[in-house]
Amino acid sequence: MSQTPTSPPPAASKSQRQRQTPGTPRSRSRRKAVSRSNSKRRRNNNNSFVTKYEILPIRPDLLDAVWPHVEPHLQRAVDESEGLIDIYDVREAANTGEMLVWVVSATGSGSIVGAYTTRIIAYPQRSALAIDLVGGSQLSRWLRMALQTIEQHARRLGCQQLEGYGRAAWGRVLRDYSWRLAYHAYYKDL
Please report whether residue 182 resides in a domain. Answer: no
135: domain CATH number?
3.40.630.30
DSSP string, 142-153: HHHHHHHHHHHH
CA–CA dist 38, 186 (Å, integer): 47
pLDDT tens-place string over residues 1-52: 444 444 444 444 444 444 444 444 444 544 444 444 333 333 444 444 457 9
CA–CA dist 15, 186 (Å, integer): 59
Please report whether residue 10 resides in a domain. Answer: no
| Residue 6: predicted pLDDT | 44
Range of the domain at 117: 52-175
Number of domains forming the structure of the chain:
1
- Percentage of residues of the chain with pLDDT beyond 90: 48
Q: Is 55:102 a contact under the CB 8 Å cutoff? A: yes
Q: Average pLDDT in the 118-136 region?
A: 94
State the amino acid at position 73 in one-letter form.
H
Q: Average pLDDT in the 39-68 region?
A: 74
| Residue 184: predicted pLDDT | 59
63 or 25: which carries more pLDDT confidence?
63
Sign of CA dihedral 79, 86, 83, 147: positive
Please report whether residue 14 resides in a domain. Answer: no
pLDDT tens-place string over residues 76-87: 999 988 888 999
- Of 71, 144, 145, the closest CA to residue 112 belongs to 71
Average pLDDT, the chain: 77
Please report whether residue 43 resides in a domain. Answer: no
54 pLDDT higher than 80: yes
Please report whether residue 1 resides in a domain. Answer: no
pTM of the model: 0.67
Length of the chain: 190
Please report whether residue 153 resides in a domain. Answer: yes
Please report whether residue 58 resides in a domain. Answer: yes
DSSP state of 41: H
What are the φ/ψ torsions at residue 187 (nearest 5 degrees)?
A: -130, 150
* Distant-in-sequence, close-in-space partners of 81: CB < 8 Å, separation ≥ 6: 133
Q: Is 94:105 a contact under the CB 8 Å cutoff? A: no
Please report whether residue 110 resides in a domain. Answer: yes
